[in-house]
Amino acid sequence: MKKVINESNRVVEEMIEGFLAAYGRYYRKVPGVKGIVRQEKQDKVAVVIGGGSGHEPMFLGFAGEGLADGVAIGNVFAAPTPDTVYEVAKAADSGKGVLFVYGNYAGDVLNFDMGAELAENEGIATKTVLVTDDVASAPPERRGERRGIAGDVLVIKIAGAAAANGLDLEEVTRLAKKANDNTRSIGVALTPGSIPDTGTPTFTLPEDEIEFGMGIHGEPGVKRTKLMKADELTDHMLQAVLEDLPFQAGDEVCVLINGLGSTTLMELLIVHRRVSHVLADRGITVYDSDVNSFCTTQEMGGFSITLMKLDEELKKYYNYPAYSPFYAKQRLGE
């Protein structure tokens, strides 16, 4: 596939250079590693996120006001190194501890754990919350084994708001876990993405077929079917999400429709139209929605649907304003 790159082995470095050239007013590079932190260190619990590149704007674009304080960046579809995690944590910490938030993938877990151990050895208190929102990746009784996909957005939003409100590390961790416990997602793939180093597709799929539950790196889903109309497809996906928590009449939810790279905003809005109709029919109130491409896989075709069930506590922190160049939320509610 055609790509706008220079040297294939420098795509991540050049991406970071371009990000800082555009937004250096707000961020600075962590010396010696592929990481960024906010320009001014904040006197609060630091939220550090991260993962492999190739999913932009996740994770690079989710540091900012009311969001994360630092981002540990890996190579394309590869976990950040332990040194990167450690150096970013050290650069972000103000003495009140660091909460790591990232998707549940083996490489990320291993390297973040090692980075956390290095930070602890330096006297930095750390906690970790793994995002496990993908209902297709394991059954409910093994929910802790699930992958993290677009639900990262909502968990980071709550964690960042809790930290910005001055809560201590235990409380920020508790709220981030609560956000994850109340968040469910499922995705569908229509066409593959590609790996910039090689230009090769991440998987193959017949032209008239789609795959339910495929992961954001091309991990296997739960079934392949023929392509169907948007409403029918949305109904199938939403059913899997609604049954899992389960979500019930009277619930209040946030909705996130996330494009995987090449699916257009027009298509995503058509999906949201159907989601809003189905939820209304079930007596579930939509408190707020986002429709955009936040957690992508290069130019993969497809999208995911995420719901987060709210209570008054989660709503308080969801309402807190947030800003980064790629995600913004005005203050909502009182």
Catalytic residue numbers read 55, 217
CB-facing half-sphere around the CA of 305: CA atoms within 13 A: 28
Q: Which two tokens stand for residue 29?
A: 């590079």
Nearest to 269 by CA among 311, 224, 223, 303: 303
Q: How far apart are CA 33 and CA 26, in angstroms?
A: 18
CA distance 113 to 180: 19
Residue tagged 């017949």 (tokens): 206
Determine contact, residues 64/161, Cβ cutoff 8 Å: no
Which of these, 320, 298, 92, 76, lies nearest to 201 by C-alpha position? 298
Evaluate whether 55 touches 296 at the Cβ level (below 8 Å): yes
Q: What is the DSSP string of 237-304?
A: HHHHHHHHTT--TT-EEEEEEEE-BSS-HHHHHHHHHHHHHHHHHTT-EEEEEEEE--S-BTBBEEEE
Q: Are strands 98-103 and 46-53 parallel, antiparallel or unpaired?
A: parallel
Q: DSSP label at 45?
A: P
CA angle in degrees (0–180, nearest 5) for 238-157-276: 30
How far is it, in rounded angstroms, from Cα 155 to Cα 12? 25
Query: How far is Cα 148 from Cα 256, in angstroms, rounded to an integer?
Result: 14
